[in-house]
Amino acid sequence: MERIAIDMDGVIADVAEQFLRYDERDFGRRKTWEEIAGLEERKAFPHCREYVFSKGFFRTAPVMEHSQEILQQLNASYEVFIVSAATEFPQSLAEKLEWLGEHFPFIPWQQIVFCGIKTIVSADIMIDDHFKNLDHFPGATFLFSQPHNFSMNDGKHKRVYSWPEIASILL
């Protein structure tokens, strides 16, 4: 059975939306997708480091549309692992585990990997929103489109824009 490593933030957890919400709360105006497209998160959201270290940021992130039902289908056909470089934000570990338990109860703890860097991951397929995680991965790679990677395209990774698109490829 093929193994799929699936990133959490920006792939199943909509952290771009979470950044937009926090930024609007702090500055009184919601930025448009056009304003943040192609910008690194730190440039698009000046307080993003404060946000990711604040209690509740990861626990209350919205779920990426269609990710639950499609991930459940993938989990029936593949060996699925949720892989998150969560140790960069140690306070996020419990929040991410609780979030996964609430929104993806069909993913048991044995299929959750919190790590520092993802080069340790052994799988056939990786779905992630950051080139740094995909570039050194030896298997098939899917770049999940997010505002911070809109203007980047190296041709090495298949860009996907939604979970239904992933389903059409992998199911």
Give the three-class secondary structure for 59.
Answer: coil
Catalytic residue among 9, 23, 128, 129: 9
CATH architecture classification, 3-14+62-170: 3-Layer(aba) Sandwich (3.40)
Q: Is 14 a catalytic residue?
A: no
Domain range list for the chain: 3-14+62-170, 15-52
Q: Is 9 a catalytic residue?
A: yes
- Distance (Å, rounded) from C-alpha 50 to C-alpha 13? 18
| Per-residue pLDDT reduced to its tens digit, 90-121 | 889 999 999 999 999 999 999 999 998 899 88
CB 21 within 8 A of CB 141: no
| Per-residue pLDDT reduced to its tens digit, 22-55 | 999 999 999 999 999 989 899 999 999 999 999 9
The structure tokens listed for 72 are 């459940």
